[in-house]
Amino acid sequence: MKTKIETADFRALAALRYRIRLFLHEVDAAVRRAGLEPQHYSLLLAVRGIPEGVEATIQALAERLLLKHNSTVELVDRLERRGYVCRSRSRDDRRCVRVELLPRGEELVERVARRRLTELHTGGAALANALDTLLSRRPKSRGVKRRTHQSQNQTGQTRRRGKASEQG
């Protein structure tokens, strides 16, 4: 049995999506003022913010940026030519290419991130409120367990929920 989605749920989703897009639009504008394209900044941020224990390889960056391997290589090529990043081969596996920030890339990503964090601290309440509103609304159906981001299917393999459901 499908649960009817109420108008308040649609409004909450729309508000969240608006706030996320507004934040990203403002980041993109700041990045362009710094002389980069938004995808360039996304790659620099992904390298700088790679989770602990994960190497900033082309494969890992492509996954984090939701890009194909060859598109990530092209981004790295452009940023390497401009002196923001460099790449090196892993000693353990020569096929594995790691990406590192150069001082110029480190400075740029920090400058843009510092401004965005400052703006988030002052104006992020609206984004947080939109998310809180959506999360506080509980589905009315009973007996349906909420799935975690990753769950085990019958064969024991890890499965992710579809992107469409995560985007709202």
**How is residue 62 written in tokens?**
């492509």
In a domain, 124, yes or no: yes
Q: Could you list the pLDDT tens digit for every one of the 168 residues in the chain?
A: 688 888 988 998 999 999 899 889 999 999 999 999 999 999 999 999 999 999 999 999 999 999 999 999 999 999 999 999 999 987 788 888 999 999 999 999 999 999 889 888 877 888 888 888 888 866 554 344 444 444 333 333 333 334 443 444
The pairing of strands 158-160 and 150-152 is antiparallel
In a domain, 151, yes or no: no
Domains identified in the chain, total number:
1
Q: Is the pTM of this model over 0.85?
A: no
In a domain, 146, yes or no: no
In a domain, 143, yes or no: no
As a whole number of angstroms, the distance between CA 79 and CA 49 comes to 17
In a domain, 26, yes or no: yes
In a domain, 142, yes or no: no
Structural domain span for residue 43: 7-134
In a domain, 144, yes or no: no
**How is residue 87 written in tokens?**
């790449």
In a domain, 86, yes or no: yes
| CATH number of the domain enclosing 90 | 1.10.10.10
